[in-house]
Amino acid sequence: MSSQDESAQRLAQNLRRATGDANPALTSFVIPALLRGIGRTATALRAAHSVEKAGSDNVFGDAQLNVDVLAERFFRDEVAACPAIVAASSEEDPVEQQKQQSTTPGDNDNAETYAVAFDPLDGSSIIAPNWSVGSILGIWAGRSALHQNPSRQIAAVLGVYGPRTTVVIAVRVPGREDSAVCLEVGVSDSGSYEIIRDLTLKNTETKTRYFAPANLRAASEDARYMALVTQYITERYTLRYSGGLVPDVVHALVKGHGVYLSPVTAGSKAKLRRAFELLPVALVVECAGGLAIDPVTGRRILETPLKDLDETAGLVCGTATEVEKVKATLLG
C-alpha cells in the first residue's frame, strides 16, 4: 500500500469517529474527492504568478479572476468523478445541477448520496498581494442542499492556501452529535494527508484573546459595533484580521480562541452567501465547540433552512462565550 493510500485510510478512520459504521462513501470517497480539488487548487495558485480578471462576472456581479475559474474547474472535475455526489452548486455558478447518470449509486434511492455547495476560492480581494485565501465546501446528505433541515449538512471542509496547504474538516451526523469531529489536516504535493490535530474552541480563560472585525467601516454607522471594537482594544485583545473569511476563522480554531464579526448595517449590506460560505463555516465552528449566529436576528446560522442560493447574511462566530457577549452588545 502506498503512503498516499495509507494516509487516506488513516484520515477515513478518524472521520469515522463522527459517523460510526454509517456514511462510508462520505469518509472514503466524497471528502477525499474535495481534498483532491483543494490540492489541485493549491498547485495552481503556486504557479499563478499573475492574478488577473478572467474577463467575466459571476451571476452575483462579482468579477471572476483567472484563479477563480481554475478552482471552479478543479472542484467540478472531482464532483463529476465521484458517484456519491449527485448534485453541486457554487458561488461561481449558483444553480444546483443534478448529475444525469444512469448506472451510479446515486440512481438508487437507498444509496448514499450527497449534494455539495461550495465557494471554490474565497478571498479574491487579497489574492493579488499573496495573502492566504481559502476554499469553502458544504456537504449535504441527500440529493439537494435546498429546503433541507440544516442538520442535513453533515460535513464541511475549509481549505487554506498559505505557506502550507491545510484543511479543516468537520463532520456531524444527526443522532451522533456528541461524536462530532473537527480536524486540521495537512495536504502534501503528493496528495497524502497528515492529521495535525483535533480543533477545539475553548470557553475557559486564555492567555491571549483574539478578535477579527470584518466590515470595520460599519463601526462608523453603528455605535454598538464601535463600542465592541473599542472594548476589545481596551481589554487588550489581539487583532488578527486579514480580510479573508477562511484564514481568519481558521486562525481562531487553531489558537483555540477568537471571535469573527461581520455585522450588517443600513450602509453595509450583508455580503456573505449562506449556501456557499455561512452554512459550512457555521458547521465547522460548531463542531469545534463554538457558536455561529446571525448578527441581525441573534439566531444560530444553522437554524434556518436554505431556500435560495442567493441568500446572504452577516456573521458572528467563534468561541461561544465571546459570541454571546457580541450578541448582548449588538442586540441588547
What is the arithmetic mean of pLDDT over 290-314? Answer: 96
Range of the domain at 302: 210-331
Domain end, chosen from 198, 224, 248, is at 198
Predicted confidence (pLDDT) per residue in 283-297, tens digit: 999 999 999 999 999
Please check whether residues 249 and 101 belong to one and the same domain.
no
In a domain, 205, yes or no: no
Domain termination site, one of 172, 198, 224: 198
Per-residue pLDDT, 125 = 84
Whole-number percent of the chain with pLDDT over 70: 93
C-alpha 250/C-alpha 240 separation (Å) is 11
User: CA-based Rg of the chain, rounded to a whole angstrom?
Assistant: 19
Average pLDDT over residues 154-164: 97
Q: 139 phi and psi, to 5 degrees?
A: -120, 120
Q: What are 173's three cell numbers?
A: 451526523
**Within this chain, do residues 272 and 137 fall inside the same structural domain, yes or no?**
no
Which grid cell sits at 60? Answer: 452575483
**Strand boundaries in the chain, DSSP class E:** 53-57, 63-65, 85-90, 97-98, 114-122, 133-141, 153-161, 165-171, 181-187, 193-198, 210-213, 238-239, 259-262, 272-273, 291-293, 312-313, 315-318
Average pLDDT, the chain: 91
pLDDT given for residue 8 in this prediction: 87
The pLDDT of 74-84, averaged and rounded, is 97
Domain count, the chain: 2
Please tell me the predicted confidence (pLDDT) of residue 243.
Answer: 93
What percentage of the chain carries pLDDT values higher than 90? 78
pLDDT band at 203 (very low <50, low <70, confident <90, very high): confident
Model pLDDT, residue 66: 87
Predicted local confidence at residue 170, as pLDDT: 98
Please determine, for residue 107, whether its predicted confidence score (pLDDT) is greater than 70: no
Confidence of residue 183 (pLDDT cuts 50, 70, 90): very high
The answer on 214 and 194 residing in a single domain is no
pLDDT at 103: 42
> For position 171, what pLDDT does the model report?
98
Residues 111 and 249 reside in one and the same domain: no
Residue 24 shares a structural domain with residue 145: yes
Identify whether 243 is part of a domain.
yes
Kindly report the CATH number assigned to the domain that includes residue 99: 3.30.540.10
Q: Burial-class residue 304 by CB neighbours within 10 Å (0-12, 13-18, 19+).
A: middle
Instruction: Tell me the pLDDT band of 262, cut-offs 50, 70 and 90.
Output: very high
**Phi, psi of 154, deg, nearest 5:** -100, -5
pLDDT tens digits, residue range 48-66? Answer: 877 777 656 555 556 677 8
The predicted model gives 230-255 an average pLDDT of 97
Is a pLDDT exceeding 50 seen at residue 149?
yes
Q: What is the pLDDT of residue 52?
A: 72
Q: Is the pLDDT of residue 140 over 60?
A: yes
Supply the pLDDT for residue 116.
98
Q: Is the pLDDT of residue 281 over 70?
A: yes
What CATH number is given to the structural domain containing 325? 3.40.190.80
* Predicted pLDDT at 269: 85
Q: What angle do CA 290, 292, 298 make, to 5 degrees?
A: 130
Model confidence at 191, in pLDDT bands (50, 70, 90)?
confident
Residue 196, Cα to own-chain centre: how many angstroms? 18
Last residue in a domain, options 198, 218, 250: 198
**Domain identity same for 69 and 177:** yes
pLDDT at residue number 102: 41
Q: Do residues 251 and 245 touch, judged by C-beta distance below 8 A? A: no
